Amino acid sequence: MPRILIVGYGNPLLSDDGLGWHAAEYLSTILTCPDIQILSCHQLTPELAETVSQAELVIFIDARRGGEPGTIDCHEIPNRFSMNTSSAQRPPSLLHQLSPAAVLALAHDLYGVAPRCYVLSVIGASFEPGSTLSPQVAASLPALAAQVQSLISRK
């Protein structure tokens, strides 16, 4: 099983919201190591918890609103879960659409594993119907790829 999982997610028919799909495609051309699995999906679902639990490092990639288009934000999701943590203090596990933190919590709850996990998000310029990225977001792909490679090399 691959030790590194990259999950690009979003709606590829809503311009910059499809960043995760475009990033996954771009990364699959430059990251050809068999230890790396790259997935694209419309949204994060409970079924991803099993795949997440089998990785040592997980990187979620998505677009978001607010700020300067093309700006990349990277943050680590703390994986300090314990069975004593009340559900009110934990990310919700079963919603219509899950957050990366909720998928990580679900992996811990179901499989007893919470790998190191990061979220890379790029601020989008357009979320209107369309299948192409805005120029600002498209231009951020090489820098996004460099950041992914940097996270992988920290392993």
Domain that holds residue 116: 4-153
Which pLDDT belongs to residue 79? 75
Whole-Å CA distances, 135 to 50, 101, 116, 125, 139: 36, 30, 32, 9, 6
Give me Rg for the CA atoms of the chain: 15
pLDDT value for 83: 47
Residue 43 sits in a domain of what CATH number? 3.40.50.1450
- 57-64 vs 72-76, strand pairing mode: unpaired
Tally of structural domains, the chain? 1
The values of phi and psi at residue 9, to 5°, are -140, 160
How confident is the prediction along the chain (155 residues), in pLDDT tens digits per residue? 569 999 999 999 999 999 999 999 999 999 988 999 999 999 999 999 999 999 999 999 999 999 999 999 999 998 766 544 434 344 444 444 789 999 999 999 999 988 999 999 999 999 999 999 999 999 999 999 999 999 999 86
For residue 8, the 8-state DSSP code is E
Which pTM value belongs to this model? 0.89
Q: Give me the amino acid identity at 5.
A: L
pLDDT, position 1: 56
